[in-house]
Every structure is written in structure tokens, then in C-alpha cells.
Amino acid sequence: NAGVTQTPKFQVLKTGQSMTLQCAQDMNHEYMSWYRQDPGMGLRLIHYSVGAGITDQGEVPNGYNVSRSTTEDFPLRLLSAAPSQTSVYFCASSYFLEETQYFGPGTRLLVL
Amino acid sequence: AQTVTQSQPEMSVQEAETVTLSCTYDTSESDYYLFWYKQPPSRQMILVIRQEAYKQQNATENRFSVNFQKAAKSFSLKISDSQLGDAAMYFCAYRSAGGTSGSRLTFGEGTQLTVNP
């Protein structure tokens, strides 16, 4: 059981570039979500999904796209990176309405 | 919308002493969950303790305990016999108990805990 995995661990982008942050889980969890962590602001929800084919916006969705074609994978796409998207990104998963969410190790993104 | 506030950006404690981290929240819901997460320098988010709002008894996990005051919307974390390994960022988090967005977490700003030897 690998749990929640995220790739890459660290990425540097130039303004305007696009990229996809990968998240996968092998626990058959229905619920998956993406958070970003910024200093002094805790973690904020970007997008979430309650099952394959179903996604919804969180607190800070602008500039990000998601899709959920399988139960296991929930990629986060940055269409045109901006310096304001410099952050640490966490993916999390759980059974729907289960108390405990399992977090991935995070991806540190630097946009120049 | 729910909000979570941690008013102590930084705290420090001597090894073997006790420290309390504060958290307040705002919600109109009656059924929900509260959590404390620990984030060491490795950045991994580690669940420390959780509390169900319908339970009056405060949760305890070894050296970690909470003081849950539902009417005051307060949820503090007490760490007893502090150890060097407790040094980390601590986040308080809220989760609704139901609905389509029931699994989403709302986090506080975090408290950086330093443990002095």
C-alpha cells in the first residue's frame, strides 16, 4: 500500500508555462482533494472530487483545472503558471465522509 | 462558511513541560469534526487527534489532549511532557459531518511550536 503519492516533489516553472501535478492513491478512496499551503495562511482547498467523473471547486480554484477519470488519479493542471501560484501543494484522499484524510508528501512549486 | 483561527503564530516550550495551543472556529452547524494536524520539517501532514462535536468527552491520545468547548467554539491542544520531536507546525482543522462537501477540511493559519532542550 503506497498510500497517497504525488509527483514531482519539486518543480520550477517560468511564468506562462503549463504543467500537471500528479496525485494517485491505492486505497480505493472516493474523495480526493487538492490544497495549497502558503505561509501564514494554512492550507486552502483548490478543488475536490467525490468520485470518478465528479469534481467541484474549493476556496481558491482560479488558475487550476482538475479531472477525475479514474478512482485512483486526480491530477491538478496549471494552464498558465503565475508567480502567485508559488506554493506547496498537497493532495489528500479518504472514503467519503470518513473522518480521517490521508495526505500525500506535497509538491513544492516555484514560479519565476 | 466556516472559519478557523489560530491566534498564536509561534509558541515555545521547554522539554518535559506542558504547552497549550489555541484554536477557535466559527460555524452554524451542530454536527462536525475538529482535528489537530502536525507538520514537521518533512512537510508530511500527520493527524494528531480528532474530536467529534457530538461527544462531550475530550479526546486524548497519549501525551496529546484537547479542551473542546462547543458553546465557546474553542478547541485547544495540550501537549504534556513535551519532547524535541514535537517541534513542528500545528494546524487546527474543521470538517462538516455531512453533505456533498462534508469531507472538505478548513484549516487555521498554523502555530509553529519550538521545543527547547
Interface of A with B in 27-56 (CB under 8 A): 31, 33, 35, 40-45, 48, 50, 56
Report the gap between the CA of A79 and the closest CA in chain B (Å): 24
**Cβ-based neighbours of B18, under 8 Å, separated by 6 or more:** B78, B79, B80, B81, B82
- Kindly report, residue by residue over A45-103, the tens digit of the pLDDT: 999 999 999 999 999 999 999 999 999 999 999 999 999 999 999 999 998 767 788 99
- Whether A43 sits inside 8 A of B98 (CB atoms) is no
pLDDT at residue number A75: 98
- Kindly report, residue by residue over B12-34, the tens digit of the pLDDT: 999 999 999 999 999 998 889 99
pLDDT at residue number A41: 83
pLDDT at residue number A87: 97
- Whether A50 sits inside 8 A of B103 (CB atoms) is yes
Residue A85's SS3 state is: helix
**Residue A47: Cβ within 10 Å count:** 23
Would you place residue A2 in the very low, low, confident or very high pLDDT band (cuts 50, 70, 90)? Answer: confident
- Kindly report, residue by residue over B78-113, the tens digit of the pLDDT: 999 999 999 999 999 999 887 656 678 999 999 999
Return the H-helix or E-strand segment holding A21.
strand A19-25
